Chains A and B, each alone.
Chain A
């Protein structure tokens, strides 16, 4: 593991220079110590140590998250916001504390701007159903980009078809970057909402979201940022960004599946009609009229994913403890190392070479289909994703049916990237390529 010390030093030098209070954590980016926190990283696959490079699909969970789930069901399990008994009080308190943790995590102005949802997919569908249906009409436009995940395409397509609106798509260049002039040109007086990925899942491109939001706001257009792939890698400050909606998925952020966050500005959320009807989202119900509950409860009908929310809180604590600045810095080094190492492989083409990138190494190799690479790497214990990554328009844009994608997290190492490279050479050997 000799390369690690060097990586850690670089990570440290750039972020720990000015009186950081977390001096102990900052002493070094001790990836081996971090790996100890993730029980699954000790697993073997086909007799080889697991090398998990599919973090953009879902991340692994630290012990703290697993234990928070167990603890909740062992000690506190009950329904929230209704019982007067001790367990319900405890569960409610813990659940609502996570709202505050999430608020701080993305620096929202108020806890009630945090709506718990199943994940980014539900968050976008909520905005589409509630804000979209109330504000987009015939002849209006919704603006997205070519590099969106299907979850930030299909809801807007459904809305556009229903309302006879137009779904506009701002194109990307050969590096996988948004073409700024085209994006600006696509914004006009008919645009009713802009929905853009912060980090593109299939390419790793970091979009200039601040500029996007400013350009849209100059025309009075609200902006939704899909932060599913950004939140595990970059520090998010929704007030600084100025976005109207921001979404994240807990399971990509080292938390459990089935829990995520929709952030929305108070003023917008107040005016939006409910998304789902049921318990908890009401103030009073008669057969004549129902009065809706205040924010955030108006958008949280039914018994929510209480255990998932509490475990998400543990994940946010865990990430905060390491610090996203240090995570970003370490991963940047890792990504640069990986890009360089993969680029040296003959016949390999990286898909997505934006100047601003996070976590993702998407590639194709001449003469070997991504699925065959995926199978061969799997036999080496290496987990990557192969296919279209729920971004078929991106595959079309680059003229490939599929790619192989290695995606990094802060528990990955340079040695694991070396193993990936060796695995790719093994695939080339099998295929005589």
Chain B
């Protein structure tokens, strides 16, 4: 049970049940859709990018507790970050959920640390990273649907 509680920490359950920044962002100037064809999880990420800074970010979609909580905490973490900072966060977050040691100059993940348990569940890495891949697409602004496959 221990590793299950490592995965499903209270913060994750809370954000999974009551996702923050959920719903369309009217003033968004960037957005992208993400999809995991294996499980059917869908997410759409909206970003208001101003002077290379994420002024606001919201998401909508449906998915498991891990993917919903990941998207929710991601939106909380990103506000006020530059594109480069967002990219660094994603890399560090990706290292965390895939069980790699953080790089020396890695940024502080804050609340995102709660996803460390995912590394014990390799099959769920895609759940935790779907919203981040989608965010990256939104920031690049190529408008394609992102797939985990």
- Tell me, rounded to whole Å, the shortest Cβ–Cβ distance linking A363 to chain B: 16
Of the listed residues B13, B16, B38, B39, the one surrounded by the most CB atoms of chain A closer than 10 A to its CB is: B39
Asked whether A375 lies within 8 Å of B39 as measured between CB atoms, the reply is no
Do residues A369 and B38 form an inter-chain contact, with CB atoms below 8 A? no
With A375-B124, A386-B39, A392-B40 already in contact, the answer to whether A431 and B8 are too (CB < 8 A) is yes
Residue of B nearest to A387 (CB): B39
Is A387's CB under 8 angstroms from B13's CB? no
Say which one of B58-66, B93-101, B134-142 lies at the interface with A: B58-66
The answer on a CB contact under 8 Å between A430 and B5 is: yes
Q: Quote the shortest CB–CB distance from A432 to chain B (angstroms).
A: 7
Cα distance, A370 to B4, chains bound together (Å): 15
Among residues of B, the one whose C-beta sits closest to the C-beta of A388 is B40
B7/A375 in contact, CB under 8 A: yes
Q: Is A431 touching B4 in the complex (CB atoms < 8 A)?
A: no
Within 8 A of A (CB), among B58-94: 62-66, 68
Query: In residues 382-396 of chain A, which contact B (Cβ within 8 Å)?
Result: 386-388, 392, 395
On whether the beta carbons of A430 and B40 are closer than 8 Å, the reply is no
Tally of B interface residues using CB under 8 Å: 24
Whole-angstrom distance between the Cβ of B44 and the nearest chain A Cβ: 14
Q: Give how many A-B residue pairs fall within 8 Å (CB-CB).
A: 51
In the docked arrangement, what's the CA distance between A371 and B124, Å? 9
Known: A369-B63, A371-B127, A431-B65. A379 touches B39 (CB 8 A): no
In the complex, what's the smallest C-beta–C-beta distance from A429 to chain B, in angstroms?
A: 9
Q: How far does the alpha carbon of A392 sit from the alpha carbon of B38 in the complex, in Å? A: 11
CB–CB A372/B8 < 8 A: yes
B111 at the interface (CB under 8 A from A): no
CB distance from A237 to the nearest CB of B (A): 37
* CA–CA, A388 and B37, complex, Å: 9
Task: Give min CB distance, A201 to chain B, whole Å.
Answer: 16
- Does residue A402 face the partner (Cβ distance < 8 Å to B)? yes
Q: CA–CA, A196 to B64, complex, Å?
A: 32
Q: How many residues of A sit at the interface, in one of the four size bands?
A: 10 to 19
- Interchain CB contact under 8 A, B4 and A379: yes
- Find out whether the CB atom of B64 lies under 8 angstroms from the CB atom of A387: no
Q: Is the interface of B mostly helix, strand, loop or mixed?
A: helix
The CA of A430 and the CA of B65, in the complex, are separated in Å by 12
**Proximity bits, A356-391, B CB within 8 Å = 1, else 0:** 000000000001111110011001000000111000
CA distance A387 to B36 in the complex (A): 11
B13 touches A432 (CB 8 A): yes
Q: A379-B3, A430-B4, A430-B5 are in contact. Are A369 and B65 (CB under 8 A)?
A: yes
List residues 415-433 of chain A with CB under 8 A from any CB of chain B: 430-432
The answer to whether residues A371 and B4 also contact, given A401-B62, A431-B13, A432-B13 and a CB cut-off of 8 A, is no
A431–B17 CA distance with the chains assembled, in angstroms:
9
Q: Once the chains bind, are A401 and B65 in contact (CB under 8 Å)?
A: no
Residues on A with C-beta less than 8 A from B41 are 371, 401
Asked if A387 and B121 make an inter-chain contact with CB atoms under 8 angstroms apart, the answer reads no
On whether A402 and B5 interact (CB within 8 A), knowing A369-B64, A372-B66, the answer reads no
Give complex CA distance A376, B40 in Å: 19
CA distance A278 to B1 in the complex (A): 55
Q: How many angstroms between the C-alpha atoms of A286 and B42 in the bound complex?
A: 54
A371/B8 in contact, CB under 8 A? no
Report if A402-B40 is in contact (Cβ < 8 Å); known contacts: A369-B65, A375-B124: yes
Instruction: Specify which of B4, B13, B40, B68 is in contact with A395 (CB 8 Å cutoff).
Output: B40
Q: Give 7 closest A-B pairs by Cβ, nearest first.
A: A369-B64, A371-B64, A387-B39, A388-B40, A372-B65, A401-B62, A401-B40
Interface residues of A (CB under 8 A from B): 367-372, 375-376, 379, 386-388, 392, 395, 401-402, 430-432
